[in-house]
Amino acid sequence: MSDPASLREQALSLLASGRATSRADLVEALQVAPSTVSSVVRRLLEEGAILEEGTGVSTGGRRPKILRLREAGGVYAVTELGARHARVGLCSPSGALLAAEEFAVDIGAGPTAIFDEITRALDDVRDAHAPGQRLLAVGMALPGPVDFPHGRLVGPARMPGWSGYDVQSDLIDRFKVTAVVDNDAKAAATGEHVTRRATGDVITRRGPGDMIYVKAGSGIGGCLITGSQVHRGGRGLSGDVTHLRVADSGERECSCGSRGCLETVASGSALARELAGRGLPVTGTRDVIAATVDADPVVVTLVRQAGRQLGVALSGLVNFLNPDSVVIGGSLSSLDVYVAAVKGMLYERCLPPLTQSLSIEASIAGPDAALIGLGHLLRETADVRPS
């Protein structure tokens, strides 16, 4: 059975597409109990994401109430750009993710070439999943420091040609609609928080509280959510865990120009480099994940060490901030051994009263976290924009 967060997204998607217009339709489409559908629908009505009106055609018994999205028509286009891939998707005006697709890119090709590719991919996904629907706004998440809400990259490492690039203006010029640009870890943390809040409301009535989110992929991004808001800091550049200095790091040179950063030992690209150096056929994070899933003992040991190094870095943050939850996202979070090593090190290094009530888990929003977060950001932006 699907978890409540995905039930919520599926219900919104069914209502947005018109494939379901009542609770009965949702029960049939989702194959869950009527009481489960009722609680999901009640929550969506409370949020104002959907409306209930009139009565539909009865199939015997009481006539069903018609359910529909609050704002009919139009979609948001959302994109997450990684070092080697881009993920594009569409969100409904309520922020629900309707479709997502991924394709390979090389971020080193620079902004113009990459944005041409993304524009084509977004046109394709709109033609396939929302033909004729108006484009309401676009959102983009980037793997570097973003000056939010101005949408400009600030000195990103591993992104030659991107520093100072005004991503927001480029998107507005291309699509002629409002654009929102955020750092990928912050967008993913927002998506994770929204997903967990929905889940908590259905199952335990308890939300995620103050949350440290780590996006562990080729690089390592971070974000603190406190009081349901992203903590951005003075210049909006908070959450940089990747250049925290860790002990036993071998003093390797980092992409930031310094030495001994977390990124040099605990990231997907560090693991790939290490394994390639040992003669294994590994070129990127995906190969590292595949080799770990194959239970190659050398790889599993290195991945466990990487998780422990991340745990060491996070333990200082947990002791200082006393969050309710630590969530590990990004592609490495699919590896149980990595998440377990982070968890073990946090229990070892943090004060017991802090870990007693601390939830440490892998992301439940998964690879779509950043796209879901962008949908939420765009909906919030639309809510404050005068119509």
Q: Which residues bind Zn ion (CB under 5 A)?
A: 243, 254, 256, 258, 261
User: Distance between CA 148 and CA 237 in Å, rounded?
Assistant: 9
- In whole angstroms, the minimum distance from the beta carbon of 86 to Zn ion comes to 24
Of 98 and 254, the one with the shorter C-beta distance to Zn ion is 254
70 close to 93: Cβ distance less than 8 angstroms? yes
314 close to 342: Cβ distance less than 8 angstroms? yes
Q: Which of 66, 131, 69 is nearest to 99 (CA)?
A: 131
- In whole angstroms, the minimum distance from the beta carbon of 223 to Zn ion comes to 18
Give the angle subtended at the CA of 159 by the CAs of 137 and 112, to the nearest 5°: 50
- In whole angstroms, the minimum distance from the beta carbon of 245 to Zn ion comes to 8
Q: Which of 99, 95, 138 is nearest to 383 (CA)?
A: 95
Of 157 and 358, the one with the shorter C-beta distance to Zn ion is 157
Q: Which of 310, 324, 323, 327 is nearest to 363 (CA)?
A: 327
- In whole angstroms, the minimum distance from the beta carbon of 259 to Zn ion comes to 8
Of 32 and 83, the one with the shorter C-beta distance to Zn ion is 83
Of 269 and 315, the one with the shorter C-beta distance to Zn ion is 269
4 close to 202: Cβ distance less than 8 angstroms? yes
Q: Two tokens at 327?
A: 């969530």
User: Distance between CA 359 and CA 349 in Å, rounded?
Assistant: 15
How far from the centroid of its chain's Cα atoms is residue 357's Cα? 24
- In whole angstroms, the minimum distance from the beta carbon of 244 to Zn ion comes to 9
Of 112 and 258, the one with the shorter C-beta distance to Zn ion is 258
Of 22 and 264, the one with the shorter C-beta distance to Zn ion is 264
Total residues belonging to the chain:
387
- In whole angstroms, the minimum distance from the beta carbon of 260 to Zn ion comes to 8
User: Distance between CA 126 and CA 123 in Å, rounded?
Assistant: 5
Q: Two tokens at 332?
A: 């490495």
Of 261 and 350, the one with the shorter C-beta distance to Zn ion is 261
- In whole angstroms, the minimum distance from the beta carbon of 184 to Zn ion comes to 17
- In whole angstroms, the minimum distance from the beta carbon of 331 to Zn ion comes to 20
Of 114 and 244, the one with the shorter C-beta distance to Zn ion is 244
User: Distance between CA 45 and CA 70 in Å, rounded?
Assistant: 9
370 close to 183: Cβ distance less than 8 angstroms? no
